[in-house]
Structure 1
């Protein structure tokens, strides 16, 4: 039955019968037969069918919730038994918001030193995507904001607070200042993340509260693209202080604290709220709790 429930989860992710079958490594007729078998055993229609996938019925949505629980418990059981036999091993998939990506090694490096049989996949995703991937069992953990937008049913470990800096050339507007206000930042042409990113929504809200209308001269969903432009000395941006420090600034770019207000949002680890946790997830949560006190606070000046 568990493999049939995996079919259901794959269909929820892919929203397409063919792609769901491919993700499960089976033919489309095999996937369709498995779904019909579940429907037959439960006596209800789960999937709205036509020439293509049209969604789940209300009963299907409810069964999907149970499928996530049962599949997660099954995976946890197999992982725990394997850990008892050979120690902690396996694969951890983490999705992180772009501003937190440079901080991921603070977690993965000491973890792998303790558990060398564990491998990682790190994905860059929006905060909304991180939560969706967690819910559908596509990742084991995420790094995202904890205190700005609803998280849903997850377990969290706060890691550090994100403070903001104006990155600009010394000879540019405000480039000679020791600190600037959000109202002043709102007068500078900026390159920023795209609006689907929570960091951008935070910055837009702070600029509007200071009386400015956000109108970036360049947008990207990649912090690397923004940082590459800033490094030329011809562009300005607002970035988290820890991100700027981690990427390294050339001499011709300054990182200036933004005050009035000194806004901060907490970044942390999120994992599915589930007991018992899988051994890998439990070990990751423990490692996050260990390193959190060692991450220094930003000096806002």
Structure 2
């Protein structure tokens, strides 16, 4: 019978990749540095190849080591999912759930729905990671995260998704701007404006441009906004106008500014908020239960 690596050996390898230091990786695994180092050496002996080049100052994974690391993450994720599936079978929505959220959704939605989630499912241990969509999707694929709370549409590959609700775009400008006097803003009116949006790489930028049928947004004297709060401050300082999701407005994003927000005169000027998870996951029923709960919470917030 072929001798197989142990989960402990694989966990040591993944920890080393995450911390890039034998001592810190050992601390993360609650073992001594010599124990972790010996475990990785045993893994290399078992596989008959070097996985890690050990320099004086750097730790570099060999090409084979990178391939093994990728599979190790997947195997550990599957093992954890096996345990969590058994726990969910005993009690749905319990145990650990690693959720990724994007910064244009998480800070504005989660504080309003997490109290109800904790009250309804007190055994659920929710761990949150905030990052851009692209990086979150990579973590979902390699098993680092279990589920993502995103703005849709987004091409995440072979995943399942559940739409929780829609999030309309509003035009935001200083109170003395000519368009501030209109109740509804047509998309055509934005073509001659200095429209400021988040920098390239944020899905909110793409969603806003697509929803309002615009090809591009103008840069303001070289400034680049990396968050909605920075974007609002730029507009509040007279650098231009912007498009903001209602979710952020309901989260008091404009408090303390001189800006006003007006709805767009287009029913399609919106994005969708949804959950995505790996297709074929054993926790599909649990994730669908979570989606139904969050959908009901978002509907209650909009009434």
Q: Same fold (TM over 0.5)?
A: yes
Cα distance in structure 2, aligned partners of 1:50 and 1:210: 51
Q: Equivalent of 2:271, from 265, 268, 274?
A: 265
Cα distance in structure 2, aligned partners of 1:13 and 1:296: 39
Q: Following superposition of structure 1 onto structure 2, how do residues 179-190 of structure 1 map, counting pairs within 5 Å?
A: 179-190=184-195
Q: Equivalent of 2:218, from 214, 219, 244?
A: 214
Q: Equivalent of 2:295, from 260, 272, 292?
A: 292
Q: Name stretches of at least 5 consecutive residues in structure 2 with no aligned partner.
A: 1-5
Asked if 1:177 is matched to 2:178, the reply is no
Partners of 1:134 and 1:140 within 8 A in 2: yes
TM-score, normalised on structure 1? 0.76
Partners of 1:111 and 1:287 within 8 A in 2: no
Cα distance in structure 1, aligned partners of 2:189 and 2:116: 41
Cα distance in structure 2, aligned partners of 1:107 and 1:271: 20
Of 213-222 and 67-76, more deviation after overlay is shown by 213-222
How has the CA–CA distance of structure 1 residues 211 and 61 changed in structure 2, closer, same or farther, with 3 Å as cutoff? closer
Cα distance in structure 1, aligned partners of 2:113 and 2:162: 12
- Give SS of 1:110's match: helix
Of 59-68 and 169-178, more deviation after overlay is shown by 59-68
- Give SS of 1:23's match: helix
Partners of 2:173 and 2:180 within 8 A in 1: yes
Cα distance in structure 1, aligned partners of 2:187 and 2:22: 49
TM-score, normalised on structure 2? 0.76
Displacement, 1:224? 3.3
Partner of 1:193: 198
Partners of 1:68 and 1:137 within 8 A in 2: yes
Displacement, 1:17? 4.8
Partners of 2:96 and 2:125 within 8 A in 1: yes
Partners of 2:100 and 2:148 within 8 A in 1: yes
Cα distance in structure 2, aligned partners of 1:73 and 1:228: 44
How has the CA–CA distance of structure 1 residues 196 and 55 changed in structure 2, closer, same or farther, with 3 Å as cutoff? farther
Cα distance in structure 2, aligned partners of 1:38 and 1:195: 42
- Cα RMSD between the aligned structures? 3.8
Displacement, 1:126? 0.7
Partner of 2:241: 236
How has the CA–CA distance of structure 1 residues 232 and 215 changed in structure 2, closer, same or farther, with 3 Å as cutoff? closer
Q: Following superposition of structure 1 onto structure 2, how do residues 24-63 of structure 1 map, counting pairs within 5 Å?
A: 24-51=29-56, 52-57=58-63, 59-63=64-68
How has the CA–CA distance of structure 1 residues 294 and 88 changed in structure 2, closer, same or farther, with 3 Å as cutoff? closer
- Give SS of 1:219's match: coil
Deviations for 1:37-90, whole angstroms, at most 9, x for unmatched residues? 222222233345545233442x43443343233212322333355567788644
Partners of 1:183 and 1:211 within 8 A in 2: no
How has the CA–CA distance of structure 1 residues 29 and 98 changed in structure 2, closer, same or farther, with 3 Å as cutoff? same
Asked if 1:121 is matched to 2:127, the reply is yes
Deviations for 1:240-266, whole angstroms, at most 9, x for unmatched residues? 122212326569533223357944433
Asked if 1:134 is matched to 2:140, the reply is yes
How has the CA–CA distance of structure 1 residues 216 and 30 changed in structure 2, closer, same or farther, with 3 Å as cutoff? farther
Q: Name stretches of at least 5 consecutive residues in structure 1 with no aligned partner.
A: none
Of 159-168 and 60-69, more deviation after overlay is shown by 60-69
